[in-house]
Amino acid sequence: MTEAGLLLHALAEKKGGGSESYGSWEDLYRGKWTWDRVVKGTCNRADCIAACSLDLFVKDGIVWREEQNAIYDQTNEAVPDFNPRGCQKGICYSDLMYDASRIKYPLRRVGERGSGKWERISWDEALTEISDKVLDVCKEDGPESIIYDFGTTNIDFGPGTPAEQQLTRLIGTTSLDEWAGVGDLPMGAIQTWGLFNADGTSDDWFNADTILVWLGNPVYTRVPDVHFMFEARYKGAEVVTIAPDYNATVVHSDLWVNPRVGTDAALALAMCNVIVEEGLQKDRYVQEQTDLPFLVREDAGRFLRQSDIAKDGKDDVFYVWDLATKSLQEAPGTMGQPDASLDLGDLDPAMEGDFEVELLDGRKVTVRPAFLALKKRLDEYTPERAAEITGVAASTIRRLARRVAESPATLIFCSWGACKHYHMDLVQRSIILLLALTGNTGKRGAGMRIGAWWNMSLSYDKAGVGALAAAGAPAERPKVRDLENLMKTLMKANSSISPTMPFLYKHDKGYAKLVDTPGYHDPDLKRPISEYMQEAFDKDWMPVYPRDGKSPRVFLYTGMNPLRRWPAPDAIRENLWANFELIVTWDFRMSSSGMYSDIILPAAGWHEKSGVKFTQSYVPYICVGEQAVEPLYESKNEFDIMAKLAATLERRAKEREEAPYKDVFGNEHDPTDIARLWSLDGEFGEGDAEKALDVQFELSDPVGDATWAEAAEKGAVRVTSTGGYGPITAITNEVEEGETLYPFAWFVRDKESWPTLTGRQQFYIDHPWFLEAGEELPTHKEAPPAGGDYPLRMTGGHTRWSIHAIWRSNRTLLRLQRGEPVMYISTQDAAARGLDDHDLALVHNDVGGFKVRVKLAPSVQPGQVVMYHAWEPYQFEQWSGQQAVNPSPLKPLHLVGDYVQLSYRFALAQPSNISRAMTVELTKVE
User: Binding residues for other proteins, per CB under 8 A?
Assistant: 1-14, 17-22, 25, 27-29, 31-32, 60-62, 64-65, 94-95, 98-105, 107, 110-111, 116-120, 589-590, 594-595, 630-635, 809, 811-812, 872, 874-875
Closer CB to other proteins, residue 22 or residue 234? 22
Q: Shortest Cβ distance from residue 882 to other proteins (Å)?
A: 16
What residues pair up with 85 in beta bridges, in sequence order?
69
| Rounded Cα–Cα distance for residues 539 and 5 (Å) | 67
In the complex with other proteins, the residue whose CB is nearer, 32 or 526, is: 32
- Torsion of the alpha carbons at 417, 418, 419 and 422, rounded to the nearest 10: 110
Among the listed residues 739, 131, 210, 125, the one whose alpha carbon sits nearest the alpha carbon of residue 440: 210
Q: Pick between residue 33 and residue 665 the one whose CB is nearest to other proteins.
A: 33
Q: Which is nearer to other proteins, 110 or 659 (CB)?
A: 110
* Residue type at position 257: V
Q: Which is nearer to other proteins, 112 or 657 (CB)?
A: 112
Q: What stretch of H or E contains 758?
A: none
Choose between 109 and 368: whose C-beta lies nearer to other proteins.
Answer: 109
| Nearest distance in Å: CB 109, other proteins | 10
Q: Which DSSP string do the residues of 805-872 spell out, in sequence order? A: STTTT-HHHHTTTTSS-EEEE-HHHHHHTTPPTT-EEEEE-SS-EEEEEEEE-TTSPTTEEE--S---
Provide the minimum distance between the beta carbon of 874 and other proteins in the complex, in angstroms, as a whole number. Answer: 5
Given phi > 0 = left and psi -120 to 50 = alpha, else beta, which region is 103?
beta
Question: Using CA atoms in the order 798, 557, 576, 488, what is the torsion angle rounded to 10 degrees?
Answer: 80
The contacts of residue 237 (CB under 8 Å, 6+ apart) are 208, 209, 210, 211
- Minimum CB–partner distance for residue 35 and other proteins (Å): 10
Label the pairing between strands 621-625 and 611-612.
Answer: antiparallel
3, exposed or middle or buried, with CB in 10 Å at 0-12, 13-18, 19+?
A: exposed
Residue 317: which H helix or E strand, with range?
Answer: none
CB of 442 to other proteins, least distance (A): 48
Of 329, 365, 370, the C-alpha closest to 353 is 370
Per DSSP bridges, beta strands 497-499 and 174-177 are parallel
| Residue 228 neighbours by CB distance under 10 Å | 25
Residue 11 Cβ vs other proteins, minimum distance, rounded to whole Å: 5
Q: What is the rounded (10 degree) CA torsion for 297, 303, 309, 311?
A: -150
Smallest distance from other proteins to CB 106, Å:
11
Cβ closest to other proteins, residue 105 vs residue 256: 105
Nearest approach in angstroms of CB 881 to other proteins is: 12
From the list 405, 185, 366, 169, the residue with the least C-alpha distance to 276 is 405
19 vs 311, beta carbon nearer other proteins: 19
Nearer to other proteins, 1 or 473 (CB): 1
Residue 247: left (phi > 0), alpha (psi -120 to 50), or beta? Answer: beta
CB of 263 to other proteins, least distance (A): 39
Least distance in angstroms from the C-beta of 101 to other proteins: 4
Q: Smallest distance from the beta carbon of 111 to other proteins, in angstroms?
A: 7
Distance between CA 576 and CA 178 in Å, rounded?
16
Angle at 628 between CA 589 and CA 28, to 5 degrees: 95
Compare residues 6 and 493 and give the one whose CB is closer to other proteins. 6
Tell me the sheet residues that pair with 357: 365
What pairs with residue 290 in β-bridges? Answer: 761
Considering the complex, state which of residue 30 and residue 284 has its C-beta at the smaller distance from other proteins: 30
Nearer to other proteins, 120 or 527 (CB): 120
Nearer to other proteins, 741 or 852 (CB): 852
Smallest distance from other proteins to CB 573, Å: 16
Min dist CB 708 to other proteins, Å, is 25
Cβ closer to other proteins: 6 or 473? 6
Phi, psi of 384, rounded to the nearest 5 degrees: -65, -45
Tally Cβ neighbours within 10 Å of residue 870. 23
Q: How far is the CB of 609 from other proteins (least distance, A)?
A: 14
Cβ 814 to other proteins shortest distance, Å: 11
**Measured distance CA(62)–CA(98) in Å, rounded:** 9
Which C-beta is closer to other proteins: that of 67 or that of 95?
Answer: 95
Buried b (16+ CB within 10 A) or exposed e, 553-577: bbbbbbbbbbbbbbbbbbbbbebbb
> Can you tell me whether residue 103 is helix, strand or coil?
coil
Nearer to other proteins, 110 or 468 (CB): 110
Shortest Cβ 603–other proteins spacing (Å): 12
Hey, CA dihedral for 790, 796, 801, 805, is it positive or negative? Answer: positive
Identify which of residues 58 and 266 has a Cβ nearer to other proteins in the complex: 58
Angstrom distance (rounded) from CA 318 to CA 13: 80
3-state secondary structure 663-696: CCCCCEECHHHHHHHHCCCCCCCCCCHHHHHHHH
Q: What does the angle CA 427 – CA 771 – CA 756 come to, to the nearest 5 degrees?
A: 65
Query: In whole angstroms, how close is the CB of 374 to other proteins at the nearest point?
Result: 53
Nearer to other proteins, 32 or 376 (CB): 32
3-state secondary structure of 905: strand
Polymer length of the chain: 926
CB of 792 to other proteins, least distance (A): 28
- What whole-number distance in Å separates Cα of residue 510 and Cα of residue 530? 14
